Structure 1
Amino acid sequence: MALDPQGIAQLRQVLSQLYDGNVAPFEAARADSYTLHVPGQSRIAGRYQGAAETARFIARLSELSGGTFAVTRTAEICISGNWAMVPLRVTAAVDDLRLDMPAFGIWRFDGAEIVEHWTLHMDQYAFDRFVAAAEAPLP
């Protein structure tokens, strides 16, 4: 069921707070069956089911980037029906290795619960290369 205008405003606020670094409202709105989809061919690509797996993914991404991985909202959150799209910029730096590209967060919800999220990088090959290089042992 699609949300009414008040529900859309609440979801927009939850996602805005999440991208501003306040995860508590997101955690309260996240369904138990929440699934994170990470595309690509890197070792971190895949499907992460539930809060614990999602937390492990975020910790691994932070570890790979030396804590520098950042996602910044770059434009308004677009919501239609049961879907939201968030324009983003993704950045990270490890030694001389740099990642800086546009991306999108695609969200699906059921009523007031957030049930799925897809990360979409504008250059998936570059994202995969960054992950592979960040995983490589230092000489």
Structure 2
Amino acid sequence: MSEHPNSALARDSYDALAKGDLAHIRDNLLADEVVFHVPGRGPLAGEYRGKDQVVGYLGQFTELTEGSVRFEPDSILPGEDRAVVTVRVRGERGGRTLDDRGVHVFRITDGKISERWSYPEDLYTTDEFFA
């Protein structure tokens, strides 16, 4: 049985992140008017609009963790225009370790990621890690 296209798209985004291939994400996976919603009060919190801002945001994870950040999807639940991913996020920064679970909700339009919402399990820990 083949993987649902929305699951495959979400999985492809995590695979590209693991390889540091932000160009693949920008050029092949993101809609032109993409929006990422990042909760919290830390330096990475906010809304990122358009491919350049989203790719810049994703690049900050790599930069701030000196390449140690990993997004590990546990399960991907596809829907008609969505993919819901339970994900584990790990990384190291300045002698601190991040190991958090959460949920990413992707909205998919015409085969591209048009929106993503992040819901960390422990928002305060994530904020502190990146502060």
The TM-score with structure 2 as length reference comes to 0.84
Distance 2:44 2:25 in 1: 26
Unaligned runs of 5+ in 2: none
Aligned length, in residue pairs: 125
Local SS of the residue matching 2:4: helix
The answer to which of 37-46 and 23-32 deviates more is: 23-32
Distance 1:26 1:74 in 2: 24
RMSD: 2.1
Distance 1:114 1:61 in 2: 19
Aligned to 2:82: 83
Q: State which of 11, 28, 45 in structure 2 corresponds to 1:16.
A: 11
User: How has the CA–CA distance of structure 1 residues 103 and 116 changed in structure 2, closer, same or farther, with 3 Å as cutoff?
Assistant: same
Distance 1:123 1:28 in 2: 31
The TM-score with structure 1 as length reference comes to 0.79
- Give the aligned residue type for 1:15: A
Distance 2:126 2:29 in 1: 29
1:71 aligns with 2:66: no
Distance 2:112 2:91 in 1: 30
Identity score, percent: 25
